[in-house]
């Protein structure tokens, strides 16, 4: 496949016509049309349906455009860096991160990165769903306990743990009886109602309580605040307690076993990692030198 012909095809597809593509690029319509025909002949498929006043992409043309226009942009950017003899990060960097991480601690990290690399324009969206990097146009995603994915590569930059917390006024169970003690509880929706016991390590002792869920909330921040207000016990990431002062009216009963939390910064394995992506991954990992969410360098 000829890269010049592919570039011209993407130019025409992006601007939805030979005329507009010609005006923007300064290349003649005849040249653009010939390059697109050459590409169609080399692939053996029609990419554009040409009408008297308009054109549209065929299904094959649409597929080729979606799969290649981002890659071509990266190749052009890499070529510009090489030609300039530098590899400094620049341009727009779009990042998707979980809502809780974004609200609780990503702000200072984002500001620090922006100050360190002023040629990068950073856009961060806080969405908990698993976005598609190519279709949704992201360069980097941050995910919690991601499943193995052959299309993504990256690094684990921080870890956290789940703890059982309760209002300080709520009596701490001793588990002297054979049956788990029932405690009022607050839980995260949509899986708020539970009939399963909560196990936690109290020092070297594994204890168990049975949650009586009286309040379900859709945000971990609301769950934390409800516990502080006396609503009941809850399971929370330890990092969510980081910003609290000493007199919160909240007590940590213990650590929940077998509930590790890992945060990964990921980018697409099939796309050229640009300098801005490489530097962002490095900066984020350096911001958590102990790999715990309780400590950051900002």
Low-confidence ranges of the chain (pLDDT < 70): 1, 51-53, 73-87, 175-178, 192-194, 245-246, 270-272, 294-298
CATH 3.30.750.24 given to domain 162-255 = no
In this structure, which CATH number among 3.30.70.890, 3.40.190.10, 2.40.30.10, 3.40.50.300 belongs to the domain 91-160+261-286?
Answer: 3.40.190.10
d(CA 270, CA 254): 43
Planar angle of CA 250, 252, 254, nearest 5 degrees: 165
The reply to whether 162-255 shares the fold of 91-160+261-286 is yes
Closest CA to 256 of 145, 163, 144, 194: 163
pLDDT, position 85? 47
Q: Provide the pLDDT for residue 16.
A: 82
pLDDT for 273: 76
Q: What is the separation, in whole angstroms, between the first and last Cα of the chain?
A: 46
Dihedral angle computed from the Cα positions of residues 21, 24, 30 and 32, in that order, rounded to the nearest 10 degrees: -50
pLDDT of residue 176: 66
Phi/psi-derived region of residue 116, left when phi > 0, alpha when psi is between -120 and 50, beta in every other case: alpha
- Indicate whether this model's pTM tops 0.75: no
Half-sphere exposure of 290 (CA within 13 A, CB side): 8
CA angle (137, 138, 139) in 5-degree steps: 125
Q: What is the pLDDT of residue 82?
A: 57
Domain ranges in the chain?
A: 3-84, 91-160+261-286, 162-255
**pLDDT of the residue at 149:** 83
- Dihedral angle over CA of 145, 197, 165, 171, nearest 10: -170
Would you state the pLDDT for residue 31? 86
Architecture of domain 3-84: Orthogonal Bundle (1.10)
């Amino acid at each position: 496949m000829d890269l010049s012909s592919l570039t011209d095809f993407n130019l025409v597809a992006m601007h939805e016509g030979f005329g507009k593509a010609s005006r923007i690029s300064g290349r003649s319509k005849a040249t653009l049309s010939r390059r697109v025909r050459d590409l169609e002949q080399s692939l053996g498929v029609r990419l554009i349906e040409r009408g008297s006043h308009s054109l549209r992409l065929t299904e094959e043309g649409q597929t080729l455009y979606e799969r290649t226009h981002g890659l071509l942009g990266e190749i052009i950017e890499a070529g510009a860096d090489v030609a300039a003899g530098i590899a400094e990060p620049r341009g727009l960097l779009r990042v998707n991160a979980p809502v809780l991480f974004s609200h609780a601690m990503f702000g200072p990290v984002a500001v620090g990165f922006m100050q360190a690399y002023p040629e990068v324009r950073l856009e961060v969206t806080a969405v908990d769903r698993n976005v598609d990097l190519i279709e949704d146009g992201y360069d980097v995603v941050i995910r919690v306990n991601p499943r193995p994915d052959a299309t993504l590569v990256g690094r684990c930059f921080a870890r956290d743990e789940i703890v059982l917390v309760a209002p300080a006024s709520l009596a701490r169970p001793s588990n002297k009886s054979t049956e788990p003690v029932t405690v009022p509880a607050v839980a995260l929706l949509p899986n708020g109602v539970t009939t399963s016991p909560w196990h936690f390590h109290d020092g070297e002792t594994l204890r168990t309580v049975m949650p009586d869920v009286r309040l379900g909330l859709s945000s971990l921040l609301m769950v934390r605040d409800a516990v502080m207000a006396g609503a009941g016990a809850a399971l929370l990431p330890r990092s969510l307690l980081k910003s609290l002062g000493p007199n919160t009216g909240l007590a940590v009963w213990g650590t929940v076993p077998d509930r590790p939390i890992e945060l990964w910064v990921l980018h697409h394995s099939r796309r050229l990692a640009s300098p801005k992506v490489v530097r962002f991954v490095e900066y984020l990992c350096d911001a958590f030198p102990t790999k715990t969410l309780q400590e950051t360098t900002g």
